[in-house]
Amino acid sequence: MGSYYQFHDDDRVNALKSFGDALRLSSASGDTKRQSDASDCLANLDWQNGDYAAGQNHAFESHRLATIRGDLYREARGLRSQAMCWNTLGNYKEGISACARARELLALCGLADGEMDSAIMNSQSEVHRAKTEYAEARKISDQIIQKVSSDKDPLDHAIALFNLTEVDIRLGASREQVEGNIARIKAIFAGMGFKRGETLCALISGDLEMREGNLATAGTLLRRCVQASQGKDGEIMTLALGLLADPERWRFSPAVENWSVIFLVHVLKSGEQLEIHRAFQFLGESFLHHHRDSATATSLFAVALEKFTQMDIHQNRAECTLRLGDIARDEGDAVRAVKLWRAARPLFERCSQVKEVAKIDNRLMGIEREMQERHEKSLSNLFAIKAPTDSVGPDEGSEHRRPDEQVQVPVLF
């Protein structure tokens, strides 16, 4: 009943009540199997609501009970729920480790290609996407789509297709291809009666419209997602606010700064480390482009860059490094600018951002041309300097002076 409320009706209140009742009844009767089930359901609901600390606690308890029972399937499921929370909080090392162990357990009990295995693979794909390792994320999603039927396991198939389409937008796939996938996702969600799917499709459509430059349409779709998820869906709220808060994608419109602040407040509350530092990056863009405050922008970019480096987030590292290079160029430090741009280039290559690599190449060629022109101008000015042509020097008339004649030095004091 709780799962019906959660996934069909998108009714988190009644879902929470049902799962809580199930946990109390199973605890009272000593049924550790159902205790594990109820705890895992609560972990999943906590994760959707954005309460990742509570989600981790429930997932840990589900896994603990399954381990006591020697129930490999439920152990794997509990690890997957822990991984979802670890990943969202930005601890990818723990998340990846939990996913790998969960898949090993499924293989031991003969469920290596089952529904739970596909769900774990979706979590692995989402880690790669978060780290902007788009090629790896797409490969895993495509593997799930190929092995999971939309008829027999529609939810995992649709989630994998959603993840793949998200990545395709970043990789520059054609509008027709992306819209075709969105139509397929909508049809699957509608067939399941999965209400949350409507908001997910609006989210990805807004992302596409923003990429295509249709900002008014994108804004309408994304604000609708915020309204639909407010107070009940932490994941969609984070994704929608993250898109609304990105100044570069909104052509540096001054209105975006308000969304950047709202985004920061939201993710500070949920504790999502990647998103907190993305918010710092976005505010750095606002200070640089709207307030012309390069000092504050530099500080924000530096703080964000340190965390992105620690978390190994390639694209955001590249973007912050690029901006610091731009600031160095504007301050007249061409050598530092070139060093930073060259550092950003392989990071953009790592996340398959071909257009950004080309922009860096243009910057490098431009500044090299400028430096060459300055060098040539300096040489030209040097050659233009002529030696003195006067025949009389400082000792004018010395050849006519008698040997015993003294030079008169003026008295100064």
CA-to-CA distance for 4 and 22, rounded, in angstroms?
A: 14
Q: Which two tokens stand for residue 76?
A: 């794997």
How high is the pLDDT of residue 402?
55
388-399 pLDDT tens trace = 665 555 555 555
Q: Give the chain's end-to-end CA distance (angstroms, integer).
A: 107
Residue with the bigger pLDDT between 330 and 113: it is 330
Give yes or no for residue 218 having a pLDDT over 50.
yes
What percentage of residues in the chain have a pLDDT greater than 90? 80
Name 261's Cβ contacts closer than 8 Å, sequence gap at least 6: 283
Whether residue 403 is predicted with pLDDT greater than 90 in this model: the reply is no
Does domain 1-112 bear CATH number 3.40.50.11540? no
Closest CA to 350 of 144, 170, 94, 162: 170
Contacts of 377 (CB under 8 A, 6+ apart): none
Q: How is residue 381 written in tokens?
A: 């000015």
pLDDT digit string, tens, across residues 156-185: 999 999 999 999 999 999 999 999 999 999
pLDDT of residue 388: 63
pTM over 0.85: yes
> Is 354 buried (19+), middle (13-18) or exposed (0-12) by CB count in 10 A?
exposed
Q: What local confidence, expressed as pLDDT, does residue 80 receive?
A: 97
Minimal CA–CA distance to 251: which of 204, 212, 225? Answer: 212
Summary mean pLDDT of the chain: 91
Per-residue pLDDT reduced to its tens digit, 259-278:
999 999 999 999 999 999 99
Q: Residue 375: its pLDDT value, please?
A: 66
Cα–Cα nearest to 229, from 259, 196, 256: 196
Q: Using one digit for the tens of pLDDT, what is the confidence trace for 31-90?
A: 999 999 999 999 999 999 889 999 999 999 999 999 999 999 999 999 999 999 999 999
- For 183-205, write each residue's pLDDT tens digit: 999 999 999 999 899 999 999 99
The average pLDDT across 218-234 equals: 94
